[in-house]
Structure 1
Amino acid sequence: MAELGPVHQHENEPHRGDLSSRLNWLRAGVLGANDGIVSVAAIVVGVAGATTQTGPILTAGMAGLVGGAVSMALGEYVSVSSQSDSQRAVIEKERRELAEQPEAELAELAAIYVGKGLNPETARRVAEELMDHDALAAHLSAELNIDEADVVSPWNAALASAVSFLIGGVLPLFAILLPPDLWRVPVTFAVVLIALALTGSLGAYIGGGSKTKAGSRVVIGGALALAATFGIGRLLGASGIV
């Protein structure tokens, strides 16, 4: 039999190990940045609709920036902790079964490959060779479609979410504080919508999706959020309640 050459990964064809890690960081990073941009922008634009004074706008913006970053980090930590706990429990269960009943696990692995189209003899040989190399990895991949390396650290996810939220939230804060009073809201609208288009397109590019669709979704959602909070702020300011 001819010796097989090196396996080449095709361009734009994701492979599970790299894709899993990349998508986890993408989810925490891009969603954190988008939330930071929209949340802080909505707060400061809403306050700016009610008053032109810099103090209230800055106070509300900083409160939203810090509070949002902490909330994002806590939410991500809890979510990823639950996910990683479940993955570790499944991995430990599989490790225990391999230690207690190796023959049954070998037969189970061979049956999986029979189900994929191999004849029983070839499936048995493949299962034996894979288990000789790394029994746990072979079963996790074939049975559960996971890898030990796929278990994500909740601390890393929380940090990525908080940092990305802060980076995203600083942008609208600067955008509304730096221009003259008359231009604060229009400049903030423009900066925020451009930033959302970029982050949406970047997320789609990394994940292999449509940049146009992703960018359009976040831009439309962001525009609606800004318009709603600005309108509420303007109404409250005009009513004399604030």
Structure 2
Amino acid sequence: MLGANDGIVSTSSLVLGVAASGVGSQGVLIAGVAGLVAGAMSMAAGEYVSVSSQADTELADLAREREELTTDPEHEFAELTEIYVKRGLDPKLAAEVAEQLMAHDALGAHARDELGISESLAARPVQAAFASAGTFSAGAALPLLVAVLFPAGALVWAVASSSLLFLALLGSLSARAGGAPLGAAAARVTFWGALAMAITFAVGALFGVAA
């Protein structure tokens, strides 16, 4: 949802800003497409770098845990037992669980219960990069599609109104998924989207007049 919101806000703002400067429909579309590509690549690169750093940290933590299991298994057993005690097991049962899990997969048990690393939650930089670029592109495509369908005279109002509608819908969907109030979420994302579009439009109009 966040990537799609970013795509809608940034691309619609760019389209409105360029349109306000007096550039023709072709120039507006070129700028919009360029903004979609640049934004998607920026999102992908940023997500890849961020998740790669997370993956490097996880690998370093696993390497340290593997060494500690080799050099001091008693301490690691006591550490895992204490974790289960804090989660509600009595000390005897916690020790039995820790013993069995370590006998089966000591590193996996410590990775999951001590470090919070599991196969399903492991950092995947490439997957994250594609997901981020994809959601941004999907959001950015909406105002571009409106810009293609509407004539130049109605482009500004069509892009602005449809983008605010898209933002409100996405805000509501995001709130529903998270169990939050729909109205507040929709109003929040719509307000900031409208502000971004208004400021960019004003900048484009200012530079258009100056030119």
Q: C-alpha displacement at 1:104, in angstroms? A: 1.9
Structure-2 change in CA distance of 1:194 and 1:150 (3 Å)? same
What CA distance in whole angstroms lies between the structure 2 residues aligned with 1:86 and 1:210? 36
Q: Is the 8 A contact 1:88 1:151 kept in 2?
A: no
Q: Tell me, what secondary structure is at the counterpart of 1:155?
A: helix
Q: Residue in 2 aligned with 1:31? A: 2
What CA distance in whole angstroms lies between the structure 1 residues aligned with 2:129 and 2:164? 26
Confirm whether residue 187 of structure 1 aligns to residue 158 of structure 2: yes
How high is the TM-score relative to the length of structure 2? 0.90
Confirm whether residue 71 of structure 1 aligns to residue 42 of structure 2: yes
Q: Within 5 A, what are the aligned runs for 1:91-170?
A: 91-170=62-141
Structure-2 change in CA distance of 1:136 and 1:205 (3 Å)? farther
Confirm whether residue 211 of structure 1 aligns to residue 171 of structure 2: no
Structure-2 change in CA distance of 1:83 and 1:209 (3 Å)? farther
Deviations 1:65-95 (A, max 9, x none): 1111111111111111111111121122212
Q: Within 5 A, what are the aligned runs for 1:9-88?
A: 30-51=1-22, 53-88=24-59
Q: C-alpha displacement at 1:154, in angstroms? A: 0.6
How high is the TM-score relative to the length of structure 1? 0.79
Structure-2 change in CA distance of 1:63 and 1:117 (3 Å)? closer
Question: Can you give the 5+ residue segments of structure 2 that lack an aligned partner in the other structure?
Answer: none
The two structures, once aligned, show a CA RMSD in angstroms of: 1.9
Q: What percent identity do the matched residue pairs reach?
A: 50
What CA distance in whole angstroms lies between the structure 2 residues aligned with 1:117 and 1:44? 56
What CA distance in whole angstroms lies between the structure 1 residues aligned with 2:102 and 2:46? 38
Number of equivalences: 211
What CA distance in whole angstroms lies between the structure 1 residues aligned with 2:149 and 2:88? 65
What CA distance in whole angstroms lies between the structure 1 residues aligned with 2:123 and 2:177? 19
Q: Tell me, what secondary structure is at the counterpart of 1:150?
A: coil
Q: Give 2:17's aligned amino acid.
A: G
Which gives a bigger RCO, structure 1 or 2 (Cα 8 Å, sep 6+)? Answer: 2
Q: Residue in 1 aligned with 2:146? A: 175
What CA distance in whole angstroms lies between the structure 1 residues aligned with 2:181 and 2:52? 30
Q: Within 5 A, what are the aligned runs for 1:197-208?
A: 197-208=168-179
What CA distance in whole angstroms lies between the structure 2 residues aligned with 1:115 and 1:83? 27
Q: Is the 8 A contact 1:52 1:181 kept in 2?
A: no
Q: Is the 8 A contact 2:29 2:147 kept in 1?
A: no
Structure-2 change in CA distance of 1:88 and 1:215 (3 Å)? farther
Question: Can you give the 5+ residue segments of structure 1 that lack an aligned partner in the other structure?
Answer: 1-29
What CA distance in whole angstroms lies between the structure 2 residues aligned with 1:140 and 1:227? 48
